[in-house]
Amino acid sequence: MPEGKLFIFSAPSGAGKTTIVKNLLAINPLLEFSISATSRAMRKGEMNGKDYYFISADEFRTKINNNEFLEWEEVYKDQYYGTLKSELERIWTKAHHVIFDVDVVGGLNIKNAYPERALSVFVMPPTPETLKDRLLNRSTETEDSLRKRLEKAHWELGFADKFDIVLINDKLEDSVKKAVEMVENFIQK
């Protein structure tokens, strides 16, 4: 299997990691998005096989038992997220580098599996208030889901120092520019 690199972007929900990753993918043709599997319901505008591989919780558990995941986590009850090993193979056989948009636990698990080949980046919101505003502006959160996401975000922020780089996402344009430089430098290593 080719020796591609792995770029891991993790953050609390609403910090901007997905937007940064989408910008990186548009700029660098050697990067390819690792599509995660999830058992959560598909949101409006999402497509199976593009945004996620949407599978049932039972199917997810079967794949766990068959050791098909590089990493996985039950984020909420019966709401699993994970990276299928087949995704790395799919991308590396094209001589591309893998880019991940994953939660902090998954990001650290991937980094531990490939310590020399992976660059882990924690995307940090400038303030907790900014994070809450970004989640509210999505208009996808109920009061209960917002509360859960903010509680989880507080916990996730405690993992920032375990990542190779902390990228504070204050101004998107500046954050994307820094991310592009980080990725290009790591590819050259």
Give the tens place of pLDDT for each residue, 166-178: 999 989 999 999 9
CB 132 within 8 A of CB 174: no
Structural domains of the chain sorted by starting position, each given as residue range(s) with its CATH number in brackets? 6-188 (3.40.50.300)
**124-180 confidence digits (pLDDT tens):** 887 777 766 666 676 666 777 777 777 777 888 899 999 999 999 989 999 999 999
**Average pLDDT over every residue of 180-188:** 95
Tell me the whole-structure pTM to 2 decimals: 0.82
Q: Is the pLDDT of residue 182 over 50?
A: yes
Q: Is the pLDDT of residue 111 over 70?
A: yes
Position 131 scores a pLDDT of 67
Q: Which ranges of the chain does DSSP label H, i.e. alpha helix?
A: 17-27, 57-65, 85-92, 104-113, 128-138, 143-157, 172-188
**Average pLDDT over every residue of 89-118:** 93
CA–CA separation, 153 vs 115, rounded Å?
25
CB 79 within 8 A of CB 37: no
Name residue 100's amino acid: F
